[in-house]
A = this chain, B = another copy of it.
């Protein structure tokens, strides 16, 4: 790992690292916030993984969400990775669209050429990054949660639902909950995974929620003034699927909030507290 930057924040340290990723076959960056040392019990901290949305890098959350304050207060590490593989060898959307390719890894392992060589964000987030973080930082991996925004909300939900023993708690802001049924998701999944919709279902939270045997516990905040609510997000699909499956969840429609980091900043303390009460 190479330290890219390190800055004191609320008594702790906000850093960015790069490293050679085996899953993505390129250098990847992630941000990590370490709370003040004296907030650790027995020298280790619980850890939350934050997954950002379309167009984001590892920097958006750490500069805009203001989560370091509550992470410092409660004593939790927050890891925020980039949203796709990067670098000169990594292919992008031929049209350079914002919703596919660079900045839009969608947290799946691509099976289709030319994406499969690098676009393996599922393995990166669910396997490689937690192993690296547990080795390199003072975290208690048994107390890991995951949360995210929009495409990253999709990532958090699906990775939690597929790995509830690793990521024990999950919350999301404005998540894509049914990628198989909305334009962003259909574009990404058909390109990364090919035409077989059975493969898509493995990364669709509204399908996965009916498949897992254990009871889960999920918090979703969705702004009512979100421009993407009706076409891309559709939280009612997840709610109906979870209800049918008898899975518990909390969906809060937040009046007047939009899709921006102003929304995330307004409720990120709630989310961090929610995870910490359960981890």
Q: Which residues in A have some Cβ–Cβ distance to B below 8 Å?
A: 7-11, 14, 63-64, 66, 68-69, 223, 225, 256-258, 260-263, 265-266
Q: Is the CB of A263 within 8 A of B8?
A: yes
Majority DSSP secondary structure for residues of A touching B:
mixed
Q: Which residues of B contact A256 (CB under 8 A)?
A: 8
Q: Is the CB of B66 within 8 A of A63?
A: no
CB of A129 to closest CB in B, whole Å: 23
The residue of chain B having its C-beta at the shortest distance from the C-beta of A10 within the complex is: B266
CA distance A263 to B10 in the complex (A): 8
Q: Is the CB of A68 within 8 A of B10?
A: no
A-B contact pairs, 9 of them (CB 8 A): A7-B260, A7-B263, A9-B265, A9-B266, A10-B265, A10-B266, A68-B262, A68-B265, A69-B266
Q: Is the CB of B8 within 8 A of A265?
A: no
Q: Which residues of B contact A14 (CB under 8 A)?
A: 262
Q: Which residues of B contact A263 (CB under 8 A)?
A: 7-9
CA distance A66 to B64 in the complex (A): 8
Q: Which residues of B contact A64 (CB under 8 A)?
A: 63-64
Q: Which residues of B contact A7 (CB under 8 A)?
A: 258, 260, 262-263
Q: Is the CB of B69 within 8 A of A265?
A: yes
Q: Is the CB of A266 within 8 A of B8?
A: yes
CB of A277 to closest CB in B, whole Å: 20
Q: Is the CB of B258 within 8 A of A8?
A: yes
Which of A7, A66, A261 has the most chain B CB atoms inside 10 A of its CB?
A: A7
Known A-B contacts A8-B225, A225-B8; A66 and B258 likewise in contact (beta carbons under 8 Å): no
CA distance A265 to B223 in the complex (A): 25
The residue of chain B having its C-beta at the shortest distance from the C-beta of A256 within the complex is: B8
CA distance A184 to B259 in the complex (A): 39
Across the A-B interface, give the 10 residue pairs with the lowest CB-CB distance, nearest first. Answer: A66-B66, A9-B262, A8-B256, A7-B262, A10-B266, A8-B257, A63-B64, A7-B258, A9-B266, A7-B260
